[in-house]
Structure 1
Amino acid sequence: MKKLLLVLAGLLLVGCQSGVELRHGYWVDLRHPAQGARPRIKVIVIHYTAEDFPTSLATLTDQQVSAHYLIPRQPPQRDGKGVIWQLVPEQDLAWHAGSSFWRGATRINDTSIGIELVNNGYRSTLTGREWQAFSPQQIASLSALVKEVAQRYGIRPENIVGHSDIAPQRKQDPGPRFPWQYLAQQGVGAWPDASRVQHFLAGQTPRARVPVEKIMDLLQRYGYPVTPEMTPGQQQTVIAAFQMHFRPADYRGLPDAETAAIAAALLEKYGAAE
């Protein structure tokens, strides 16, 4: 018996040294990792909840919808850092994106991390929609989280997006008050270089109309869900989603020269969807 135990111990030691691992009832040879392997997680999708924190937490822990992370408007602080709720393990799929498309891929739930921010979205007034701002503490916690997740999975800046980017016909979150430009300055997400936008604007008036076909071609190449059978109203909705992300001062969805210049600058900086 003693001899058998020594033999088994010897095999285990050799296995550990040689890249062979003993698991529950079987051995696994780990010495030949495939070069074609890629991380499952390629996209980070940011949402707002349109509900308060208790309601958001109840909704996102029910059976119908879920997200990997939830960040309150005023995250509790511990040792000077905000507390974030993790609701779904990162290796598991969460139901946050729905029917979606980004840069050639569908079923974005399968390849993404979903982050929900507690925010009321907008309220309708006599003068139009009033969108709720995000708190600095909330954005600081989000920035730290996204940086860490993006680094861990090698997620490119152009694949850090809003729900409205991947599902523009259905969703508007995180809305025009989400600070994409500020976050890009912190190293989170994509943003065009101002000098290159001016280069592609080429002296045109920013609000000068350009053919809608030109805008749709640029947005399709960058990664937005654009199809030939879209109605004019659907085209305007996609343009508005792009503008809400990259030019929130005017997101009426009109095809203008500045929108085309921003899209061209993004394509130059980050490349077209494959």
Structure 2
Amino acid sequence: MSKVAIITDTNSGIMPADGEALGIKVIPTPFMIDGVEYLEGINLTQEDFFKKLADGADVSTSQPSPGALLELWDAMLKEYDEIVYIPLSSGLSSSCQTATMLASDDYEGKVFVVNNQRISVTMRQSVLDAIELRDKGMNGKEIKDKLEEVKFESSIYIMLDTLYYLKKGGRITPAAAALGTLLKLKPVLQIQGEKLDAFAKARTATQGKNIMINAMLSDFENRFGGIDAHDVHLSGAYSYDLEKANEFKGEVEAAFPGYEMHMDPLSLVVSCHIGPGALAIAASRKIHV
């Protein structure tokens, strides 16, 4: 039986120290902040990041360098027969395409890059699924194929607290941001597959949370086979406001009897574009072998 290593990056919400406890390797996501490179989970914490964001720092995201990636693969292949690498969705970053290209050169049959269109808590679940599949005896190719087979069996809904960062990143016009701020709109965004799309506009945070809960209830019924099936992982995420996140967690669990909601901070790559105060609900179908 092949000895399989699991590697991911911090866009999964799993930090390098957490990876050690799980028996996997986690690559820190690089950020350029006012011209200085920081590594998520190494010398950039959630608190540091949001403080810099609030101070008006110039923040941009990057991807792990090809050199660093190859160096890690080579080191891991001295101990393991195969590697399953789970990077950020190809629809949200070029890191997956870069890794796929690198793996096709000199690592064919040894490194399997998973492109399963996920980020944050649904990406985290893919990593946990990969560990379980490996422990059940699957090889690298079988794990990659299984994760990609169910890649669209997930949903994320995110409610923003502010339009400022979407405007700053050029994702909405200043006029639209000004109107939304004037009307105190709470946009709800959706991730199903590759892209982050607009889903709804709420006038209050309460309405926005209800929109997300009802959208997920609909997904449970129409995409995941029913709320009572207990065949789905239910998760939540937030940017910076843990008290608000825990309140939302209670509301979600009340709407989904029998489910316990796992809650994590949103990936800083997402937080960079939407700012603090965001709330998200997410789900992914459980994998059965």
TM norm structure 2 = 0.25
Task: Identify, as 1 or 2, the structure richer in strand.
Answer: 2
TM norm structure 1 = 0.26
Higher relative contact order (CA 8 A, sep 6+): 2
